[in-house]
Structure 1
Amino acid sequence: MEVMCEVCQSQLPKYKCPSCRIVYCSLGCWKSHKESSCSHQRKENDEPNISIEKKEEYYFQTEDTVPIEKLQLLRESEGLRDILRNPHVRDMLSAIDSSPNPAAAMKAAMLEPIFVEFADKCLELVEPSSQKT
């Protein structure tokens, strides 16, 4: 079963709202959603929203699933929070998240030193034993 645009319910979605994660198909649907129903709007100068829902377990785990305890370390990291204050990093993360080809978008982002710093900080917290000094 294909997922349809959550705004107009008539087209296949191409985009995802960076605030609340609904999928939509066009600029018109995005504008309509933003004006009327986006419940997670964030002002440009707000702190990055890096909260995590507290769940006991995942519904769909894979070998790449990060344990909840490690996600908590990411949430509490001041160093990561400092990096996420950079709007350029947030824009890159949004672009990767909404990309039809996230692997290619990630590869392109890894050419940016600030994004490499972000990725290294995440790995340092999630997999500290894999970091070589």
Structure 2
Amino acid sequence: MGPQQCQVCNQVQSKYKCPSCYLPYCSLVCFKKHKEFPCVKPPSSEAKTTAALESPAKEPIVIDEPIEVLQKYQLEAIASSSEIRDALNDKALQELIFRIDCSSNAENELDKAMEEEAFRLFTDKILSTTNP
């Protein structure tokens, strides 16, 4: 799927997608204009193949600062890191991440997970990969 046009101003190629509804937008100005109205995550057209991919319905994530969203090059760095991929083979770490993702209070679960050394080491690997 190639680049799309901004669905807010309809004038520029989009660089970003709304984290809630995936609407393509080009700038912070368009993002703020889009967020003047509530949006929701569209239903997935793909069938989930594993229970690990299914999570309970949650409220959309609200991002106050779009700068907090990882850029494509940062996500690619994480995906291409053999160290991170190897760490993700650990079943206990997978369960911890799943528990955080499925929690109605993910921030609280994340705080609990940070008490575990293996999870702290994993997050340090991600941080050093995304912010070398």
TM tier, shorter chain? Answer: 0.5 to 0.7
Question: 1:123 is matched with which residue: 122, 127, 131?
Answer: 127
CA shift, 1:64, in A, is 0.7
Following superposition of structure 1 onto structure 2, how do residues 90-105 of structure 1 map, counting pairs within 5 Å? 90-105=94-109
Matched, 1:75 2:79: yes
- The 2-side partners of 1:22 and 1:72 are apart by 27
CA deviation map 1:17-38 (0-9, x unaligned):
53155749xxxxxxxxxxxxxx
CA shift, 1:82, in A, is 1.0
- The 2-side partners of 1:97 and 1:64 are apart by 18
- The 2-side partners of 1:95 and 1:103 are apart by 11
> Residue 18 of structure 1 aligns with which residue?
52
Which structure 2 residue ranges, 5 or more long, are not aligned?
Answer: 1-37, 44-50
- Maintained 8 Å contact 2:114/2:120: yes
Matched, 1:110 2:108: no
- The 1-side partners of 2:56 and 2:72 are apart by 23
TM-score for the superposition, normalised by structure 1? 0.53
Which amino acid in 2 is paired with 1:64? E
Which structure 1 residue ranges, 5 or more long, are not aligned?
Answer: 7-16, 25-59, 129-133
- The 1-side partners of 2:126 and 2:55 are apart by 22
Runs of 4+, deviation exceeding 4 Å: none
Matched, 1:89 2:93: yes
- Maintained 8 Å contact 2:56/2:102: no
Which amino acid in 2 is paired with 1:77? S
Following superposition of structure 1 onto structure 2, how do residues 9-88 of structure 1 map, counting pairs within 5 Å? 18-21=52-55, 23=57, 62-88=66-92
RMSD: 2.6
